[in-house]
Amino acid sequence: MALEPRYSAQGHTIDRAGAGIDAGLRSYMLRVYNYMALGVAFTGVIVLWMANSPELLFTLAGGMMKWVLFAAVIGMGWFSPKILTMRSTIAAQGYFWAYCALWGLMISPFVLYTLQTQHGVADVSRAFFITSGMFAGASFFGYTTKKDMSAFGTFFLLATIGLLIAMLVNAFLIESSMLSFGISALVVLVFAGITAYETQMVKTMYQEAPADTVTKMAIFGALGLYGSFVVMFIHVLNMIGIMRD
């Protein structure tokens, strides 16, 4: 049975189907952001747990294990679209929480080291609020802009690969704090753009995909936005630490 339009008091036609889509989209985006926020909170729990595991923390900070975690995080991020083809939403959720846990394990040495410095708590708090503000602004732009950002996908991919190579070169060959600061500044800018791009992508996916995949789409979208948030946070924190030094 076809839906009939209803009329407002001013006599304008309001499309019920459109109103339904808007309500569904708001609910879907709220689910995405809730998953993402819970992922960030879970990562914080992992970092706090690591604070009470000094032997494991030392292993991650000083051994080859940190590179294993780094490769695992990159790999899970790269293969995250497989979430959309998983038969079970429980499996998709497991993938998401495993990704958040890996990030928590990987960043815990750096975050806990910062917390032990004289201004550590203030620096971590400042980095978190700066990142939150930048993320919120970039995501809002991505949600509201009428400009199609899909053409930027290749640029963001290449920029990410280039920055990743630059970080590895600096870590193994140059070890320059000023270069590290410059790389971090570029990473923050690039991932602010990626946040806007991902937000628009997540929104578009809802408008185009079947209704029975909404939960998996929300998890996939949350994973991408979560990764961008954590990357921005770490590099904002790195910039603050370098400026203090």
| Whole-number pLDDT of residue 21 | 59
Percent of the chain residues past pLDDT 90, beyond the cut: 77
Q: How far apart are CA 49 and CA 57, in angstroms?
A: 10
| Residue whose entry in the numeric block shows the structure tokens 């949600």 | 143
Percent of the chain residues past pLDDT 70, beyond the cut: 91
Half-sphere CA count of 34, side-chain side, radius 13 A: 9
| Whole-number pLDDT of residue 15 | 42
Out of 7-16, 27-36, 226-235, pick the least confident: 7-16
Pairwise pLDDT comparison (170 vs 244), residue with the higher score: 170
CB-based contact 83:216 (threshold 8 Å): yes
pLDDT tens string 82-128: 999 998 999 999 999 999 999 999 999 999 999 999 999 999 999 99
- pLDDT tops 50 at residue 236: yes
Closest among 198, 169, 194, 197 to 183, alpha carbons compared: 169
| Whole-number pLDDT of residue 8 | 36
